Amino acid sequence: MDQENCQQLCEVCEPINFGRYFTNQIDNCVTQYKETGADANALKLGYLKDIYRRSSSCPFCRLVVMAICRNDASWSFTPDQRVAADLHEEEQIECWIYSYCFADYNPEEPGSEKVYRIGIAARQSEDDLPEDDDFVGSIQLLAEDARQINRSELFHGRIVDTTKVDMNLASNWLRICESEHGDKCEKLGPAFDGRDMHLYNLILIDVKNLYIFQTPDELAATLRFICLSYCWPPKKPFMLTQANFSELLQKGSIESKMELLPDAIRDAIHCVSDLGETYLWVDSLCII
């Protein structure tokens, strides 16, 4: 955190070097079989009820409370309910922080950059030993802030716009898969070994010009297209038939039929177009 934000932290959180936690594994108890959470040297934040009290003015305490409430084990709690539940316990919950490796860019390469998150551990007594996983939540670094500590944006958090999908981001994921994953993504499974994968009479939807494209056989093996897997609606959808085949071969013909298509197919057409792709295969519109 920058100096301005550090001045807003409480007396417990102000001394914390957050950059160190996001660049190293700190106070993480690792046994022979698994990571179990905070070790004996982990920084104690105090009782949960006190962290909650400080959260009204301390941004990091507020993050800790939010992270605990959003953890899978307590997703239904609001902060008030979570603390109220804690107060009913005979021994109140104390919290510690540590950091753990969340992702490794290339585990097979020595010195590969790793991504760390702050883990939150909770126990009902300071004397409890970390025999079981005491993880109750995590805090991650935003991708846009990763550069401030000389880290890549990959595998760090981002703020999601819930009103629309970031298709540029999805397109970038696809590019990474194609350019960096190599044989792990390019090879077909063993079920396809030795099979003739040539495609004949391939019919596709041209999402740019919104019509049915009948692919020449000599292009079918090399033409790039996206397939849609979906559940059919209860009501029989608009389909490609011998009767409408000639009509749908005309450019723009599908545009007038969009209202007849299931939402899944309409969304897929827009999605494929936004990804910068041209062709989509959907069973109901690509098989006669």
pLDDT score for 237: 87
**Is the per-residue pLDDT at 163 higher than 50?**
yes
DSSP state of 214: E
> CA nearest 98: which of 130, 138, 61?
138
The CA-CA-CA angle for residues 267, 273, 275, to 5°, reads 100
Two tokens, residue 33: 């079989």
pLDDT score for 238: 93
| Single-letter code of the amino acid located at 222 | T
* Tokens 């970031």 belong to residue: 166
CB atoms within 10 A of CB 166: 12
Q: Which of 3-7, 33-37, 55-59 has the lowest mean pLDDT?
A: 3-7
Higher pLDDT among residues 220 and 52, named by residue: 52
Averaged pLDDT of the chain: 84
Two tokens, residue 281: 């295969």
**C-alpha dihedral (71, 167, 223, 287), degrees to nearest 10:** 70
> CA nearest 202: which of 222, 188, 185, 187?
222
- The average pLDDT across 244-259 equals 95
d(CA 103, CA 140): 12
**Domain coordinates in residue numbering, the chain:** 18-149, 195-281
Residue 227 three-state SS = strand
**Is the per-residue pLDDT at 169 higher than 80?**
yes
For the chain, first and last CA: distance in Å? 60
**Is the per-residue pLDDT at 42 higher than 50?**
yes
d(CA 154, CA 187): 25
132-147 pLDDT, tens per residue? 558 889 999 999 899 8
Q: What is the biggest distance separating any 2 CA atoms in the chain, rounded to whole angstroms?
A: 77
Answer for the pair 37, 121: CB distance below 8 angstroms, yes or no.
yes
